[in-house]
Chain A
Amino acid sequence: KAGVTQTPRYLIKTRGQQVTLSCSPISGHRSVSWYQQTPGQGLQFLFEYFSETQRNKGNFPGRFSGRQFSNSRSEMNVSTLELGDSALYLCASSKIQGSGANVLTFGAGSRLTVL
């Protein structure tokens, strides 16, 4: 059974550019969550999608956006990149969405460096 696949694994961008990250969840998982991980702030929740709808959102500016497709694959986009956006972006999928027992299976992450 394939795990959560994130692409690209590494990327370097410059300030002001935008970036799109992709996440393919485990087959049968309909919920996809995104997290930003930095040494200073730890794991910060970005958003969660279920059945193509954003069901929960963290405290990030509007430059961070996402979407989910009908096959449950998800993308997140960061526009007008800032140096502080350098981080490991983790995607996680789960079977059960919302207030139930939402056990997350994480991908390996996409490491973004903004110069």
Chain B
Amino acid sequence: SQQGEEDPQALSIQEGENATMNCSYKTSINNLQWYRQNSGRGLVHLILIRSNEREKHSGRLRVTLDTSKKSSSLLITASRAADTASYFCATDPVFGPGTRLSVLP
């Protein structure tokens, strides 16, 4: 069964806008990770947040983790066309179904 579930399944925004994707999981975790997949660079690790962390930043990415609600969110600020991709949360070794993000120029 899927450990992580993302929503929305698909998201379409304009360049410059922020994009928020959410992930829920079912069991206790040590950490949660987010990955991105696009046709050009394949599946790439973005950021890891440990279970004792509540928020983490990396460039234009901000990840939050709420272990009481078993949920995480990924915020991409000031989106660019190059951010168009599918985004997956993962709780080792299980990946969620992903959110397809389209950033329109």
A and B assemble together? yes
**Contact among A90, A101, A104, A106 with B50 in the assembled complex (CB-CB below 8 Å):** A101
Given A100-B30, A101-B48, A101-B50, the answer on whether A90 and B93 have CB atoms closer than 8 Å is no
Interface hits, A50-77 → B, CB 8 Å: 56, 58
Flag whether B78 is at the interface (Cβ < 8 A).
Answer: no
Interface presence of A11 (CB below 8 A):
no
Do the beta carbons of A101 and B30 come within 8 Å of each other?
yes
Q: Is the interface of B mostly helix, strand, loop or mixed?
A: strand
List CB contacts (< 8 Å) of A81-115 with chain B: 90, 92, 99-109
CB pair A102–B43 under 8 Å, yes or no, is no
B44, B93, B97, B98: most-surrounded residue (chain A CB, <10 A): B93
B43 neighbours in A (Cβ, 8 Å): 90, 92, 106
| Cβ contacts under 8 Å, B93 to chain A | 33, 45, 48, 56, 58, 102
Interface size class of A (residues with CB under 8 A): 20 to 34
* Docked complex Cα distance between A105 and B41 (Å): 12
Known: A90-B43, A103-B48. 12 other contacts (CB 8 A): A33-B93, A42-B2, A42-B95, A42-B96, A43-B88, A43-B98, A45-B94, A99-B30, A99-B92, A101-B30, A106-B42, A109-B42
Chain A residues in the interface with B (C-beta under 8 A) = 33, 35, 42-43, 45, 48, 56, 58, 90, 92, 99-109
